[in-house]
Amino acid sequence: MAALPRRIIKETQRLLQEPVPGISAVPDDSNARYFHVIVTGPEDSPFEGGLFKLELFLPEDYPMSAPKVRFITQIYHPNIDRLGRICLDILKDKWSPALQIRTVLLSIQALLSAPNPDDPLANDVAELWKVNEAEAIRNAKEWTRKYAMDN
Amino acid sequence: MGHEQVTSKFQRQFAPYPIHRQLYMRQQYEQERRRQSLVISSRVSGTPPCDTYRTLVCNQNAEISRDKFIQKITRFIDQHSVKVMSLCSDCTDKCIICMCNYSENEGLRKLRCNHKFHRKCIDEWLLKSYMCPVCRSDLIGSAKGCNDACILHGESNWERVPNNYDESTSTSSVTLQ
């Protein structure tokens, strides 16, 4: 593999030296483009108290294309599907090289605070979120307890 | 074939050309792909491709539109090539794409919205998108741009450079940071 671009080195250093509150991103020992990420569930959201594991990979042409990010921890959210794939515009057509790993992870954390059932990835979850929000939030809390709290 | 594969294939194929030529060729390439997929889908459904005539006219006018497109691109991109001549001592600004500070004699490019980047960095992005990475204004579309303050202090330290300006031939060495 080609030498690591300076930008990735700088971003990694800053992530380790000045971590974003509530977010930890650590590069893998054997692959500096692969990050082990933990995001805490935001306060006043059904995900509060949970620790959500994600994986983040910087593709070969990063920052010209977006990082690939996926939830590893199961999560009940209208914009995140069973495989952990995330429906977020900045990870797709709204990507810009001015964005960084830290801004991407902050956006993902914000998505947990503000689910958007009108642009769903997990259709059943989004449907329930629209017709019976209280029950959907109960489910989200239940999944958070079940999958994001015991480790 | 995924979009990324197309882009990288495109970059390999057309990399030796200047940026406006590359952008033009990419546009042609995408147009041709769209046309082909139209033809294919019309074959499957049995209905004739509705815009065959338009495509023909398009081809007739290709020369004209090619010139227009290059003119447009040239106006908005190449005239905005700049080179840092000297930086004031408190100038700590950096290229947001590679996160490295600007240094003297580096080739930069200023977009219509006044945002500046290393030439190499922004050219790579322009092959993927016509959007300014900072303010998301459309580079070649409508004339609206944002009026953010310039990244570097003032314009007096800038010099226009010709399109074929090549950093490797510049006399002083380029060191990042």
Q: Which of A25, A39, A66, A87 is catalytic?
A: A87
Ranges A47-51, B91-95, B161-165, most confident = A47-51
The per-residue pLDDT for B153 is 32
- A-chain residues near B8 (CB < 8 A): 61
pLDDT tens-digit readout, A33-73: 999 999 999 999 999 999 999 999 999 999 999 999 999 99
What mean pLDDT do residues A130-151 have? Answer: 91
Nearest CA in chain A to B127: A64
* Residue A67, phi-psi category: left (phi > 0), alpha (psi -120 to 50), beta (remainder): beta
Helix or strand (DSSP H, E) at A73: none
For the ranges A101-115, A121-135, B77-91, B146-160, the lowest mean pLDDT is seen at B146-160
Tokens 């990979």 correspond to: A57
Non-local (6+) Cβ contacts of B105 within 8 A are: B83, B84, B85, B170, B171, B172, B174
What is the rounded CA–CA span in Å between residue A56 and residue A71?
Answer: 9
Domains and CATH numbers, chain B: 65-77+92-139 (3.30.40.10)
Q: Is A87 a catalytic residue?
A: yes
Beta-bridged to residue A40, according to DSSP, are: A51
Task: Count the alpha carbons within 13 Å of A60 in the hemisphere toward its beta carbon.
Answer: 6
What mean pLDDT do residues B44-69 have? Answer: 54
Q: Is the pLDDT of residue B88 over 80?
A: no
In this prediction, residue B171 has a pLDDT band, given cuts at 50, 70 and 90, of very low
Alpha carbon separation from A150 to A51, A138, B48, B108, B141 (Å, rounded): 9, 18, 60, 51, 52
Domains and CATH numbers, chain A: 6-149 (3.10.110.10)
Q: Which residue has the higher pLDDT, A4 or B156?
A: A4
What is the rounded CA–CA span in Å between residue B74 and residue B22?
Answer: 12
* % pLDDT > 70, chain B: 34
The per-residue pLDDT for A120 is 83
Question: Which of A61, A63, A96 is opposite residue B136, by nearest beta carbon?
Answer: A96
pTM above 0.80, yes or no: no
Question: Which of B98, B125, B136 is opposite residue A7, by nearest beta carbon?
Answer: B98
What is the DSSP annotation of B98-115? T--B--TT-EEEE-TTS-
B97 lies within 8 A of chain A by CB: yes
Cβ contact B121:B98 at 8 Å = yes
**Alpha helices (H) along chain B:** 3-14, 19-45, 52-60, 62-76, 119-126
Peptide bond preceding A63: is omega within 30 degrees of 0, i.e. cis?
Answer: yes
